[in-house]
């Protein structure tokens, strides 16, 4: 007899299953794809022997996840690698800003912006233990209202507004803008400062690490732990209608609204169905993976020690790129996010060889090939990059959606994370639905995008309370 079914084996699906299994439930996870992990998988996308991350690559929220911190994932094979520099942000003059794990070292390198860095990102770092629950959970009565109110006032601002008022140097503003641009929104929008502050603080709270062997190792560790609790994961088992599932007290869907409606829409009252239909997906991404014969020849030495490199030059350029993309235009110089894991984890490529991972934002469902534009951005800061390329793999928005039905139009956040949709993901009900025992546990619920498993954990906690009275 099954107690609970989870549809989808992304990090949130697996986390929901683990939380349910920990409470003694018999859980089965059905995964549509032949491989487990959703947005947390690795594969030899280019040449045999080169292990690429298909989706997530850098994992600040995974190492900091309040739920995963309680799990024996190291014993299940997960090993974190912390690059010496979390983030490199190069400029056209051949120099770069580097963000290190140490808050004080990073601030000291920012010259006259050092104090402002400590007052903004540093304050979030200092108060993180008190605001973590509010940032990584559903809306609730705050335990520590004062630090949260202070964070909230800054977080609600736009990244451009905060950067221009807090920092004096264009370089610091650009670095902050690059971090905030992870939010897939124009940087003049409310709440984009919050993305920059939170993600920036993570550099110093637990770092921006990579898992040894690639992101698949996170999935493997979660799956092993689930299995040790008696849970089961069945791959290549797409659910096409929830009526066909084996009987269970609770069904948790690691799905965004569109695929959820496809399999369960007929169960919902019209008003709820319409709310899900109105859920807004955001811009997409165009992703490239490279097999390389040598490390990327960055002009700025700092970037050779960085796990992640942001390519966009100035704040103005990054802001213009994000705004144009949001408005449906293709830019010639897109903001590019790049990860270079083999500098720190040689196990992922043959001796002396490397892999690199990068993407830029594009209008939703765009069909424009961005490969040349992305490579030109890399060449701009690392002349000779193209000479190192052995092979490439390209994922356009349509490929991303094909590969994972949650990511409509290539939107890797499974829905816009703006003020309107932040607390009411995907509706004001968050995890629950009007159907008793049916829950949503994907990144389309709070706290949203990222590899942390907290959406799954919160959905499972609610299901346990309502359906299993634990």
Ligand X SMILES: Cc1cc2nc3c(=O)[nH]c(=O)nc-3n(C[C@H](O)[C@H](O)[C@H](O)COP(=O)(O)OP(=O)(O)OC[C@H]3O[C@@H](n4cnc5c(N)ncnc54)[C@H](O)[C@@H]3O)c2cc1C
Give me the residues that bind ligand X (CB under 6 A), please: 7-13, 30-33, 38-40, 55-59, 61, 238-239, 254-255, 259, 263, 285, 287, 359, 400, 404-407, 412, 442-443, 449-451, 455
Min separation Cβ 33 and ligand X, Å: 4
Min separation Cβ 352 and ligand X, Å: 25
> In the sheet that 96-99 helps form, which strands lie side by side, from edge to edge?
96-99, 85-90, 306-311, 336-339, 354-362, 284-292, 389-395
Nearest-angstrom CA–CA distance, 302 and 340:
13
Length of the chain: 470
Min separation Cβ 94 and ligand X, Å: 27
Min separation Cβ 126 and ligand X, Å: 23
Residue among 3 and 401 whose Cβ is closer to ligand X: 401
Residue among 238 and 436 whose Cβ is closer to ligand X: 238
Cα dihedral 148, 150, 153, 154, rounded to 10, equals -110
Residue among 65 and 172 whose Cβ is closer to ligand X: 65
Residues 6+ apart with CB under 8 A from 147: 127, 130, 131
* Secondary structure letter of residue 329 according to DSSP: -
Cα dihedral 451, 392, 299, 348, rounded to 10, equals 60
Residue among 117 and 357 whose Cβ is closer to ligand X: 357
310 forms beta bridges with 337
Residue among 28 and 124 whose Cβ is closer to ligand X: 28
**Is 252 within 8 Å of 48 (Cβ atoms)?**
no
Residue among 55 and 388 whose Cβ is closer to ligand X: 55
Residue among 16 and 96 whose Cβ is closer to ligand X: 16
Half-sphere exposure of 451 (CA within 13 A, CB side): 26
First to last CA, the chain: 19
- Residue 149 tokens, joined: 């109110």
Min separation Cβ 251 and ligand X, Å: 11
**Is 182 within 8 Å of 195 (Cβ atoms)?**
yes
Min separation Cβ 11 and ligand X, Å: 5
In the 3-class helix/strand/coil scheme, how is 416-437 assigned residue by residue?
CCCHHHHCCCCCCCCCECCCCC
**What distance separates the 2 farthest-apart alpha carbons in the chain?**
65
Residue among 13 and 313 whose Cβ is closer to ligand X: 13
Identify the helix (H) or strand (E) that includes residue 260: helix 257-264
357 forms beta bridges with 289, 339
Residue among 122 and 211 whose Cβ is closer to ligand X: 211
Min separation Cβ 41 and ligand X, Å: 8
Min separation Cβ 276 and ligand X, Å: 15
Q: What share of the chain is helix, strand, coil (3-state, %, to 5)?
A: 45, 15, 40
């Amino acid at each position: 007899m099954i107690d609970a079914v989870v549809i989808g084996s992304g990090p949130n699906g697996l986390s929901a299953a683990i939380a349910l299994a920990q409470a003694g439930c018999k859980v089965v996870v059905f995964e549509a794809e032949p491989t487990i992990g959703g947005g947390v998988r690795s594969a030899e996308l280019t040449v045999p022997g080169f292990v690429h991350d298909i989706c997530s690559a850098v994992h600040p929220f995974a190492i900091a996840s309040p739920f995963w911190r309680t799990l024996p994932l190291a014993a299940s094979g997960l090993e974190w690698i912390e690059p010496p520099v979390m983030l490199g942000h190069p400029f056209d003059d051949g120099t770069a800003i580097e963000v290190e794990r140490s808050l004080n070292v990073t601030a000291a390198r920012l010259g006259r912006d050092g104090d402002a860095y400590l007052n903004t990102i540093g304050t979030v770092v200092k108060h993180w233990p008190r605001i973590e629950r509010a940032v990584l959970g559903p809306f609730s009565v705050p335990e520590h209202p004062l630090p949260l109110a202070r964070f909230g006032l800054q977080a609600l601002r736009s990244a451009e507004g905060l950067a221009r008022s807090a920092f004096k140097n264009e370089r610091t503003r650009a670095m902050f803008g690059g971090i905030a641009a992870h939010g897939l929104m124009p940087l003049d929008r409310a709440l984009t400062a919050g993305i920059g502050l939170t993600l920036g603080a993570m550099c110093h709270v637990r770092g921006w690490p990579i898992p040894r062997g690639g992101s698949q190792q996170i999935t493997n560790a979660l799956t092993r732990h689930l299995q040790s609790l008696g849970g089961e994961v069945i791959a290549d088992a797409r659910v096409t209608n929830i009526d066909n599932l084996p009987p269970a007290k609770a069904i948790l869907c690691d799905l965004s609204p569109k695929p959820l409606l496809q399999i369960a829409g007929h169960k919902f009252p019209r008003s709820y169905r319409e709310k899900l239909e109105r859920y807004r997906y955001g811009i997409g991404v165009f992703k490239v993976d490279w097999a390389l014969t040598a490390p990327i020849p960055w002009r700025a030495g700092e970037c050779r020690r960085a796990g992640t490199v942001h390519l966009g030059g100035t704040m103005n350029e990054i802001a213009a790129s994000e705004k144009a993309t949001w408005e449906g235009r293709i830019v010639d110089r897109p903001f590019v996010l790049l990860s270079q894991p083999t500098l720190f984890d040689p196990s992922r490529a043959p001796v002396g060889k490397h892999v690199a991972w990068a993407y830029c934002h594009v209008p939703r469902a765009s069909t424009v090939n961005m490969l040349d534009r992305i490579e030109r951005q890399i060449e701009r800061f690392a002349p000779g990059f193209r000479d190192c390329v052995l092979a490439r793999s390209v994922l356009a928005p349509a490929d991303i959606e094909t590969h994972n039905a949650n990511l409509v139009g290539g939107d890797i956040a499974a829905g816009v994370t703006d003020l309107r949709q932040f607390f009411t993901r995907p509706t004001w009900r968050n995890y629950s639905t009007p159907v008793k025992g049916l829950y949503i546990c994907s990144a389309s619920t709070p706290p949203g995008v990222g590899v942390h498993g907290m959406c799954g954990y919160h959905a499972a906690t609610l299901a346990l309370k309502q359906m299993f009275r634990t």
